[in-house]
Amino acid sequence: MARPTPHHPLFDRLFRQAVTVDLGTANTLIYTDDGGIVLNQPSVVCFEKDQSSGPKRVAAVGAEARQLLGRAPRNLEAVRPMRHGVIANFSAAEHMIRQFVDMARPRQLFSRRAAFTLCVPAGATQVERRAITEAAVSAGAWKVNLIGESLASAVGAGLPVAEATGSMVVDIGGGTTEVGVLTLGGTAYSGSIRVGGDAFDMAIVSYVRNLYGVLLGEQTAEHVKKNIGTAVRDVPAEHMNATGRSVDDGLPRTVQLSNHDVADAIEGPLRQVIGAVKRGLEMAPPELVTDIAHNGIVLTGGGALLANLERRLTHEIGLEVRVADEPLTCAVRGAGAAAASGLLDEFACQ
């Protein structure tokens, strides 16, 4: 059988397949039309430290590398290449994307030379947009489209973005919170703050250090947040133990934390998220605000899973707030659907 050539229809099918990548601060997801979500891994890469200044070798990536965060032996270095939704360490991001694309490929017949659609936060600068584009090109993309995370998340959450009505989506990721108001397939308002789940974890770390003199690791703090975190205080008490290092003598110490402690700890970043949502309502055109008052607000991103967040926002803002189905995968599914429907052309920056 003749091999597919660049002019053969099979070529487009196999080698020009559209691939959508959500390169998030916490998690990277890859989606294809045929295969759905073909990769879902923590955005972490682990290098073997080289004595010479030669190129570093990737020792692990994704979930395997994440386990080494904060506990890597001396010859290894675990890195999170993304901060606040944008690339903070270009070379690490490049290695990570390349590995992820290779991991996703065997299951899905797309070549590295596929057209890539990437989600970016609204607040990303031109330099940051160029960096992510270059990282994708270096991973093999022959063409790169960028899509705003808000639009992608709104499409993924099933909001009627193409209709003549205003929809508000709030995507709370690891490093950013994006507030978007969408209408007629366009973005009427988008705002992004550099506060997300990471800031909640850090707030728990500093609360426990100040109150109990115990330094928790970031992953332990995240575990506490996911287990007993709550955005409101008027809930029955729940407790869990967390072990860290005493700041006095450096020895391990276990403290018992309550969900009320955690609510107090995260109040600061939570207020910033609430402030960003209020600002979105203030800045959006009045007619669209009327629509949002009618349609309510939808939460996406992993941060939307914080217990009682929708209740707290409803209380603060006075509008109906709900969490999207599968909030962690909304952005990548939505970006893939937007790319397939042509919605993207209007928003493509490149």
Ligand X SMILES: Nc1ncnc2c1ncn2[C@@H]1O[C@H](COP(=O)(O)OP(=O)(O)OP(=O)(O)O)[C@@H](O)[C@H]1O
Q: Does 198 bind ligand X (CB under 6 A)?
A: yes
Q: Which does 135 bind (CB under 5 to 8 A by kind): ligand X, Mg ion, none?
A: none
Residue with smaller CB distance to ligand X, 140 or 174: 174
SS (H, E, C) 108-137: CCCCCCCEEEEEECCCCCHHHHHHHHHHHH
Amino acid identity, position 19: V
252-258, strands of its sheet edge to edge:
214-215, 239-246, 252-258
What Rg, from alpha-carbon coordinates, does the chain have? 21
Which of 18, 46, 80, 85 is the binder for ligand X (CB under 6 A)?
85
* Residue 305 known to bind ligand: yes
Q: Does 310 bind ligand X (CB under 6 A)?
A: no
Residue with smaller CB distance to ligand X, 273 or 289: 273
Residue with smaller CB distance to Mg ion, 24 or 269: 24
Residue 338 is encoded by which pair of tokens?
């937007």
Burial class for 292, CB neighbours closer than 10 Å (0-12, 13-18, 19+) = buried
* Residue 149 known to bind ligand: no
CA gap 169, 326 in Å, rounded: 14
Which of 17, 19, 24, 169 is the binder for Mg ion (CB under 5 A)?
24
Amino acid identity, position 160: P
Site string for Mg ion, 166-185 (x = CB under 5 A): -------x------------
**Beta-carbon neighbour count of residue 261 at 10 Å?**
21
Contact in structure between 276 and 193 (CB atoms under 8 Å): yes
Residue with smaller CB distance to ligand X, 159 or 328: 328
Running DSSP on this structure, what letter comes out for residue 321?
E
Residues 208-267 that bind ligand X (CB under 6 A): 222, 225-226, 229
The backbone region for 219, taken as left when phi is positive above 0, alpha when psi lies in -120 to 50, beta otherwise, is alpha
Which of 224, 306, 337, 344 is the binder for ligand X (CB under 6 A)?
306
Q: How many residues bind ligand X (CB under 6 A)?
A: 22
CA gap 291, 289 in Å, rounded: 5
Residues 2-61 that bind ligand X (CB under 6 A): 24-27
Which of 174, 191, 244, 334 is the binder for ligand X (CB under 6 A)?
174
Residue with smaller CB distance to ligand X, 80 or 95: 80
Q: Which residues are annotated as a binding site?
A: 25-27, 174-176, 222-225, 302-305
**Using CB under 6 A as the criterion, which residues of the chain lie in contact with ligand X when the complex forms?**
24-27, 85, 173-176, 196-198, 222, 225-226, 229, 301-303, 305-306, 328
Point out which residues bind Mg ion (CB under 5 A). 24, 173
